[in-house]
Amino acid sequence: MECRLGCGACCIAPSINSPIPGMPNGKKAGERCIQLDDDNLCKVFGLAERPDLCDRFKADPDVCGTTNQQALDNLIHLENITS
């Protein structure tokens, strides 16, 4: 599955403990990544500064569902049951 452009759920729902440009301590679950632009596109996509965790995330129908809201809901659920 290819990421839906403008979804951004994986940049909002999960916590990220590694540094992100502009967020040296990572981010909390539910906090919007500072690198997510107004169109929900990653400003550091493809750059060396992008966290490894973000690079490793692969869109999957079971996680991303069929809508951006389903993706956000599913990722929030996964964050809650694994934290």
53 occurs within a structural domain: yes
* pLDDT tens digits, one per residue of 31-80: 999 999 999 999 999 999 999 989 999 999 999 999 999 999 999 999 99
Let me know if residue 3 belongs to a domain: no
- Residue 4 included in any domain: no
Which residue range is the domain that position 33 belongs to? 9-82
Q: How many domains does the chain have?
A: 1
Distance CA 70, CA 36 (A): 19
The model's pLDDT over 11-45, given as tens digits with 9 standing for 90+, comes to 999 999 999 999 999 999 999 999 999 999 999 99
Let me know if residue 20 belongs to a domain.
Answer: yes
* Structure confidence at residue 83 (pLDDT): 79
Residue 49 lies inside a defined structural domain of this protein: yes
